[in-house]
């Protein structure tokens, strides 16, 4: 049985880690470099670093922060935010990241997925998918971009299949309806996409306690779970979450391994 991964998400704005609810009312919660080091030591399997205003502001990602994070940790991490060209992907990887996450830019130019996979390998290309419930869509969920501000023509399940076909190695599936609420993951869309694809699907948005994380693995078949508020605010430790996973029979990398 493959180990299920616990991935800590660091949303960064103006050089600070920030957290909000449904992409709004953000507050600063700490220094991303210090937090990355701490989570690495505390047993996170991976980290995700999102420069959350890069796309909206039309600028490149803050590479200096990426370099500082890479110097402090010894676990894989992916970086996203405003990455729109092969050159920018290369710069992020050379700054120390193992994976590149693209979201709004992939929707605007799907060929970027294929080009990235050809240049750097599918394992380096992660697609961030922000979805909202939408009764008019075949799957019941619509893909949105630019931090949830821009609706797209894409049905969530159709877009997931498209990005897999184009060569993406992983999808981070974020429910904006659940994001930051700490009321649990959006299980329906997570299960739907996890079962339809052969590439890993990372559940994102809504974890409030270890039971939510156990549930998204056991009931929705996610390959990994993204967490933020639950650990940023000290509600639960990574050790407590992993212990709950192990007690539920879910394989995970032991802390310290």
Give me the active site residues, please: 11, 130
Question: Which stretch of DSSP H or E encloses residue 46?
Answer: strand 46-51
Angle at 62 between CA 109 and CA 52, to 5 degrees: 60
Q: Are 160 and 166 in contact (CB under 8 A)?
A: no
Q: Are 202 and 8 in contact (CB under 8 A)?
A: no
Residue 10 · residue 28 · CB < 8 Å = no
Query: What is the dihedral sign for C-alpha 46, 165, 139, 51?
Result: positive
Please tell me whether residue 221 adopts helix, strand or coil conformation: coil
Residues 4 and 217: beta-carbon distance below 8 Å:
yes
Residue from 108, 99, 120 nearest 224 by CA:
99
- On whether the CB atoms of residues 147 and 130 are closer than 8 A, the answer is yes
- Give the pair of three-digit tokens for residue 85: 């060209």
């Amino acid at each position: 049985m493959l180990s299920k991964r616990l991935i800590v998400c660091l949303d960064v704005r103006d050089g600070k880690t920030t957290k909000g609810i449904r992409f709004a009312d953000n507050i600063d919660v700490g220094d991303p470099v210090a937090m990355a080091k701490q989570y690495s030591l505390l047993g996170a399997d991976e980290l995700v670093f999102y420069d959350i205003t890069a796309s909206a502001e039309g600028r490149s990602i803050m590479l200096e922060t990426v370099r500082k994070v890479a110097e402090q940790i010894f676990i894989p991490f992916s970086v996203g935010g405003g990455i729109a060209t092969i050159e920018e992907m290369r710069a992020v990887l050379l700054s120390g990241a193992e994976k590149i996450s693209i979201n709004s830019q992939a929707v605007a130019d799907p060929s970027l997925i294929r080009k990235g996979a050809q240049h750097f390998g599918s394992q380096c290309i992660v697609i961030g998918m922000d979805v909202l419930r939408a009764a008019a869509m075949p799957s019941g969920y619509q893909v949105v971009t630019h931090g949830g501000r821009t609706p797209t023509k894409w049905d969530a399940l159709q877009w997931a299949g498209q990005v897999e076909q184009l060569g993406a190695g992983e999808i981070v599936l974020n429910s904006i309806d659940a994001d930051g609420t700490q009321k649990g993951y959006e299980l329906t869309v997570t299960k739907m996409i996890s079962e339809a694809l052969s590439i890993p699907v990372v559940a994102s948005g809504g974890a409030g306690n270890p039971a939510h994380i156990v549930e998204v693995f056991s009931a929705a078949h996610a390959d990994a779970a993204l967490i933020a508020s639950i650990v940023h605010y000290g509600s639960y430790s990574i050790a407590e979450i992993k212990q709950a996973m192990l007690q539920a029979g879910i394989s995970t990398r032991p802390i310290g391994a």
